[in-house]
């Protein structure tokens, strides 16, 4: 760990953010979304911190089996369902719930009859047009599962819960599709959970909010009562005084407007920091807000120290996390907080903090 970059995972922040989700959806069960290696925080680490959740949502059967073998007994749901019929014996053996979004999956379940006894979540396409049965197909799909003895949870996913257009159209569609079925329902992602109580139903599915990033820009995570679960930090490893007109970094994309003092930080795109982050992307140096200047390199980036005279080799730098919202960094880089958190490279050491 001689190179100073590290990601610190704040376990108490994860459990706090789960409490925030429960506070907003008091009558719903919480299915914590921990796919993508717990949004880059470490799946098992996150699961342990969120052990009070009613269930977990993951991407594939390998992740689900890992959770079962680690002793987790809650509902574990495959958000994209099983990918081949060969996975059904594992789902049955470990009682892993699966989304059902296509006719071939129903056909496979009916052929492997014992699989209809695992928890099934039947997905409706209410307007996002990714996975799920169309409104015209949904009744027949539901009837086929019920005829085989299944009692599925009905679900959909909102495309614009975090935008001004909201969820009205999709909610109307889903309610029309499912109105005659007395079955559990699940609709709300993080943004809907925080903004639309009418979507809470029986299960909510928080994801990004559990990791302390705002799902509702321009509202900040702090304004929503969320705590950052990851702090990506490093240190200044070199200093340089440059003259007006000097260029910095590959391509000379930054030209000093005046004499400046700059620092080199041990963090680059091979660590997961976005290469496309432009000059002006915020970070903290010794707790003070500063900016990236020039092009991000594979292992380093350059920071403006003009207003931080005390900065020296070894001065701490916060790329995002406590004091530096990841959504602010993402907005400056033209991306979203999900991408930054999920992209932290394996070479970055991860430490746990209470």
Question: Per residue in 141-189, pLDDT tens?
Answer: 999 999 999 999 999 999 999 999 899 999 999 999 988 899 999 999 9
Selecting among 35, 123, 269, 273, the annotated active-site residue is 35
- Strand 260-265 relative to strand 301-304, pairing: antiparallel
Contact 327, 291 (CB under 8 A): no
Provide CATH 2.40.37.10 ranges for the chain: 230-353
Selecting among 196, 243, 250, 273, the annotated active-site residue is 250
What 217-222 contacts at long range (C-beta under 8 Å, 24+ apart), as own/partner pairs, is 217/162, 217/327, 217/331, 220/325, 220/327, 221/325, 221/327, 222/325
For residue 35, indicate whether it is catalytic: yes
CATH (one of 3.40.50.300, 2.40.37.10, 3.30.2320.50, 2.40.30.30) for 230-353: 2.40.37.10
pLDDT surpassing 70 at residue 1: no
Beta-bridge partner residues of 153: 121
For residue 243, indicate whether it is catalytic: no
Provide CATH 3.20.20.10 ranges for the chain: 11-211
Total-model pTM: 0.95
Q: What is the domain class of 11-211 according to CATH?
A: alpha beta
Q: Which residue has the tokens 């000097």?
A: 246
Which residues carry a binding-site annotation? 130, 298
Tell me the three state secondary structure of residue 126. coil
Instruction: Report the candidate in 89, 63, 69, 88 with the shortest Cα–Cα distance to residue 77.
Output: 63
Can you tell me the mean pLDDT for 30-44? 98
* Residue positions counted in the chain: 354
């Amino acid at each position: 760990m001689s190179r100073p970059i590290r990601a610190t995972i704040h376990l108490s922040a994860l459990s706090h953010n789960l409490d925030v989700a429960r506070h907003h959806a008091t009558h719903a069960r919480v299915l914590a979304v921990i796919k993508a290696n717990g949004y880059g925080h470490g799946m098992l680490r996150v699961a342990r911190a969120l052990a009070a959740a009613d269930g977990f949502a993951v991407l594939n059967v390998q992740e689900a089996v890992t959770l079962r073998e680690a002793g987790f007994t809650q509902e574990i749901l495959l958000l994209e369902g099983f990918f081949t019929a060969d996975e059904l014996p594992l789902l049955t053996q470990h009682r892993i719930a699966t989304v059902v979004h296509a006719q071939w999956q129903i056909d496979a379940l009916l052929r492997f009859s014992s699989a209809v006894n695992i928890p099934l979540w039947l997905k409706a396409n209410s307007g996002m047009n990714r996975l799920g049965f169309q409104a015209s197909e949904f009744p027949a799909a539901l009837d086929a599962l019920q005829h085989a003895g299944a009692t599925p949870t009905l679900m959909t996913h909102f495309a614009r819960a975090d935008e001004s257009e909201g969820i009205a159209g999709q909610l109307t569609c889903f309610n029309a599709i499912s109105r005659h079925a007395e079955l559990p329902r699940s609709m709300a992602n993080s943004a809907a959970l925080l903004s639309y109580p009418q979507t809470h139903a029986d299960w909510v599915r928080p994801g990004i909010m559990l990791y302390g990033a705002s799902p509702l820009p321009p509202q900040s995570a702090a304004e929503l009562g969320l705590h950052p679960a990851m702090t990506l930090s490093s240190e200044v490893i070199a200093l340089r005084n440059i003259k007006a007109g000097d260029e910095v970094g590959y391509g000379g994309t930054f030209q000093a407007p005046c004499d400046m003092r700059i620092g080199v930080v041990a963090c680059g795109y091979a660590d997961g920091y976005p290469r496309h982050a432009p000059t002006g992307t915020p970070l903290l140096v010794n707790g003070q807000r500063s900016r990236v200047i020039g092009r991000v390199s594979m292992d380093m980036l350059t920071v403006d120290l003009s207003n931080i005279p005390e900065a020296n080799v070894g001065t701490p730098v916060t790329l995002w996390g406590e004091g530096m919202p990841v959504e602010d960094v993402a907005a400056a880089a033209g991306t979203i907080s999900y991408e930054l958190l999920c992209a932290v490279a394996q070479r970055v050491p991860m430490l746990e903090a209470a």
